Structure 1
């Protein structure tokens, strides 16, 4: 369900006001990383690079036609875990993500929401399947890095820990000394919802269109917003974390 009815708004308000630690996915809730640098083209170029090395048969047909570069990366890691091939492919993806940063589109209301949450005393962290180098580059460009530093937990070459594995969430919570119940995770993908559920962290889904909303609903998300504006408005009217 979306946070449109009075009951849904109250559920959203409860999620926000209880959170002392806010964990964010990156690509989606904070920005559209590939808004100006097509993810589909990046995925196709990774496939072409593999085929140029004589590895056409390494991917299934659906994997060769994917619009998601992470699908290609996961597929190769599944068949050649901990290999130099995976390491080189991951570095190529990181390079393309870095190229996408200057053209990334900020998610509406994300910047003021981040600054407001920081200003009222909440602690923020990133838990993402993107490269932490990419996250830091984007946040620095937006003058938001200090809101998260040093708590940025992203993709490494050990790809078994990509979400839905909850490791990035666990790392953030452990580093901040926070209980899962005191946190909130904001994400836009089913893997985000699954990771939050496994980690025991309350989840807020962000869906910029109906397709993403349906995917989140199917993954078990019960509070979903189509805009971060109501989150910001609730935060403006809420007491500071820890206040009586």
Structure 2
């Protein structure tokens, strides 16, 4: 576990041991949703679907080459917010996510960490740009849904609410009656960090490789782990 702070004496375990509420991003910290179902292919299929309806020109060249389906979704939202087209595109992405659940790869140590934190009295929520239906389906498959329900906050057709907007985090905090300083968010992208910073929630970055760790640190994250194992060890130490 590493912490890059201006204070060499700061204990990186402190935000973990203090947390009464833990806000989890989904794709990354809990599982690799597209481990066996390429997100790049999904993005390409969304672009092809638009092209098949004569809407090729709706996207810029860069958007047509996107590897993240949310880039395509946001692009349509900017040009046709609240439209039937956007609703159908969002539903198509949700169906692709639901298919991906069957091959999703659990993040190492995530399941026992979730169960341990819950057993020790922490309250847990998911705050994600994925569909809440996708999250619920995955958690049910791992028998983890009782650890989170009903606190699953994710994508709707109001795409301006997606992270880095702090909307999902604020919804979770309000629903739980929790102050931001009593919480901890676990995320794996700069947009997760930006949302946590805006919501004034302490942030723990999870990076499964050095490239993702570098992106988080460059965004300003000061506590970054490349495995959840030391987090689990710290939480178990509170028992």
**TM-score normalised by length of structure 1:** 0.94
The one-character-per-residue Cα deviations of 1:56-108 (angstroms, maximum 9, x if unpaired) are 11111111111100010011101111111110000000000000001000000
Q: Does 1:192 align with 2:192?
A: yes
Q: Which residue in the other structure is 2:210 paired with?
A: 210
Whether the aligned pair in 1 keeps the contact of 2:39 and 2:68 (CA below 8 Å) is yes
Structure 1 stretches (4+) deviating beyond 2 angstroms?
A: 1-4, 7-12
SS of the residue corresponding to residue 171 of structure 2 reads: helix
Partner Cα separation in structure 2 for residue 94 and residue 51 of structure 1: 19
Partner Cα separation in structure 1 for residue 152 and residue 59 of structure 2: 31
After superposition, the CA RMSD in angstroms is: 1.7
Give 1:3 shift.
Answer: 4.7
Give 1:11 shift.
Answer: 3.2
Whether the aligned pair in 1 keeps the contact of 2:208 and 2:226 (CA below 8 Å) is yes
Give 1:8 shift.
Answer: 7.8
Unaligned 5+ residue runs, structure 2? Answer: none
The one-character-per-residue Cα deviations of 1:29-75 (angstroms, maximum 9, x if unpaired) are 00000000010000000000011111111111111111100010011
Give 1:10 shift.
Answer: 5.7
SS of the residue corresponding to residue 12 of structure 1 reads: coil
Partner Cα separation in structure 2 for residue 24 and residue 61 of structure 1: 33
Q: Which residue in the other structure is 2:231 paired with?
A: 231
Partner Cα separation in structure 2 for residue 3 and residue 138 of structure 1: 31
Q: Which residue in the other structure is 1:114 paired with?
A: 114
1:50-129 alignment runs, 5 A limit? 50-129=50-129
Q: Which residue in the other structure is 2:21 paired with?
A: 21
Whether the aligned pair in 1 keeps the contact of 2:204 and 2:224 (CA below 8 Å) is yes
Give 1:128 shift.
Answer: 0.2
Whether the aligned pair in 2 keeps the contact of 1:8 and 1:223 (CA below 8 Å) is no
Partner Cα separation in structure 2 for residue 29 and residue 72 of structure 1: 23
Whether the aligned pair in 2 keeps the contact of 1:26 and 1:130 (CA below 8 Å) is yes
**TM-score normalised by length of structure 2:** 0.96
Whether the aligned pair in 2 keeps the contact of 1:132 and 1:155 (CA below 8 Å) is yes
Q: 1:8 to 1:40 in 2, by over 3 A?
A: farther
Q: 1:73 to 1:9 in 2, by over 3 A?
A: farther
SS of the residue corresponding to residue 42 of structure 1 reads: helix
How many residue pairs were aligned?
238
